[in-house]
Amino acid sequence: MATALIIGAGGVGRVVAHKCVQNRETFDRIVLASRTLKRCEEIQSELPEGAIEITTVDADSTEETAALIKKVGADIVINVALPYQDLAIMDACVQTGVPYLDTANYEHPDEAKFEYKLQWARDNAFKEAGIMGLLGSGFDPGATNVFCAYAQKHYFDEIHTIDILDCNAGDHGYPFATNFNPEINLREVSAKGRYWENGEWIETEPMEIHFTWEYPEVGPKESYLLYHEEMESLVKHIKGLKRIRFFMTFGQSYLTHMKCLENVGMLGIEPVEHQGMKIVPIEFLKTLLPDPASLGPRTKGKTNIGIVAEGIKDGKKRKIYIYQVKDHEECYAEVKSQGVSYTTGVPAVIGAKLMMEGVWSGTGVFNMEQLNPDPFMDEMNTQGLPWKVLELE
């Protein structure tokens, strides 16, 4: 039995709160803390009375977060605030000796760049504190890393290439909206593409490389090469890897809007002077765009996220596709949230559950593929994210 402290009451935080309540046998006490109490109150009101406690925290402050962890007596901190808070929350966990989990790697608010360097640098501190830190326990990163570990364990002697394929075929009816935090999403998508081949990172122009993939239960979709954080850890941990790429689908309307916003400077992260005030264009854009948490009741269609791995088994070539399909309306009916938040929040709860049950254990900072994939894959089947494996060759 564990006390879970969830930090961040956004789209993903909502799913994590609902799912922790569904996993009462593991999390007997659940505290949801976020910057704005109103967001916590909304989530609390959707759940049975007394199911969760709520409070405020500024998770940019290590001291404030550490004080809250102590006050609550947390057994685990589930960080589903923004990537900007990762380091402050990790340091608070080290100070208090409480295990840590997140779903996205650290990003500095003033630099559109994400990497594991600063989180991996805390490995020794986690070891000295005798605690586990689980990085990137969402869907991608998260379940996709586990799919790679599962492929490596059960299907290959050596994996040579991996393509991660992320398709959201949901339609929310707005001309333009993002499915998770607009600032994080637009920074990721408008950045240069990057993939890894033969030991080197190769940079591409944004959206330069694309192809059509036939996504089961969704259909053919144009998929664009992006840089994505799980590749940084997978190149370290998957045996014999020669190439890894990440593709995401986008509709033409999304791409046209994004290009236009970029061309007029609305994706800028530097403050600009406006009528005597300093404003950051992308922050202002976030204010204008629909709140991702409000997309839930409007979104129809499915997500399909998976990996295609090619390599060698018993001297023969093999190619497999592991994927998971989720229906947005089904997610909303279950936890009042659309599929992108659902497919992120459920793996976060699975990771936390495995840590609290001691199924996944260790001291230091871990990426998902470093742990035994089997219990995670089993939990996905029972917690609402059933997956399939296809033999392609």
| Cβ nearer to ligand NDP, comparing 82 with 94 | 82
What's the min distance (Å) between Cβ of 2 and ligand NDP?
Answer: 21
Backbone angles phi, psi at 3, to 5 degrees: -100, 120
Report if residue 59 touches ligand NDP, rule: CB under 6 A.
yes
Tokens linked to 346: 């459920």
| Cβ nearer to ligand NDP, comparing 77 with 309 | 77
| Cβ nearer to ligand NDP, comparing 152 with 181 | 181
| Cβ nearer to ligand NDP, comparing 166 with 310 | 166
Among 47-55, 58-66, 204-212, 235-243, which window interacts with ligand NDP (CB under 6 A)? Answer: 58-66
Site for ligand NDP in 19-48 (CB under 6 A): 34-36, 39
DSSP track, 215-249: ETTTEEEEEEEE--THHHHHHHHSTT--EEEEEEE
What's the min distance (Å) between Cβ of 101 and ligand NDP?
Answer: 11
| Cβ nearer to ligand NDP, comparing 138 with 170 | 138
Where are the strands (E) in the chain, listed by range?
2-7, 27-34, 53-56, 76-79, 100-102, 107-108, 111-114, 132-135, 158-168, 193-197, 200-204, 210-215, 219-226, 243-249, 272-274, 277-279, 302-313, 316-327, 364-367, 387-391
Long-range (24+ apart) CB contacts under 8 A made by 356-359 are 356/2, 356/4, 356/26, 356/27, 356/75, 356/76, 357/26
Report if residue 9 touches ligand NDP, rule: CB under 6 A.
yes
Q: With CB under 6 A, what is the number of residues at the site for ligand NDP?
A: 35
Site for ligand NDP in 330-369 (CB under 6 A): 340-341, 344
Whole-angstrom distance, CA of residue 223 vs CA of residue 211: 5
Binding-residue pattern over the window 171 to 210 for ligand NDP, x denoting contact by CB under 6 A:
---------xx--x--------------------------
Report if residue 140 touches ligand NDP, rule: CB under 6 A.
yes
Site for ligand NDP in 254-293 (CB under 6 A): 292-293
Tokens linked to 149: 């570990």
Residues constituting the chain: 393
DSSP 8-state code for residue 302: E
What's the min distance (Å) between Cβ of 141 and ligand NDP?
Answer: 5
Backbone angles phi, psi at 220, to 5 degrees: -75, 135
Contact 336, 18 (CB under 8 A): yes
* β-sheet bridge partners, residue 326: 303
Report if residue 160 touches ligand NDP, rule: CB under 6 A.
no
Among 4-12, 169-177, 217-225, 246-254, which window interacts with ligand NDP (CB under 6 A)? Answer: 4-12
Report if residue 170 touches ligand NDP, rule: CB under 6 A.
no
Whole-angstrom distance, CA of residue 54 vs CA of residue 37: 8
Q: Which of 3, 23, 62, 103 binds ligand NDP (CB under 6 A)?
A: 103
Binding stretches for ligand NDP (CB under 6 A):
7-13, 34-36, 39, 57-60, 80-83, 85, 103-104, 138-142, 180-181, 184, 292-293, 340-341, 344
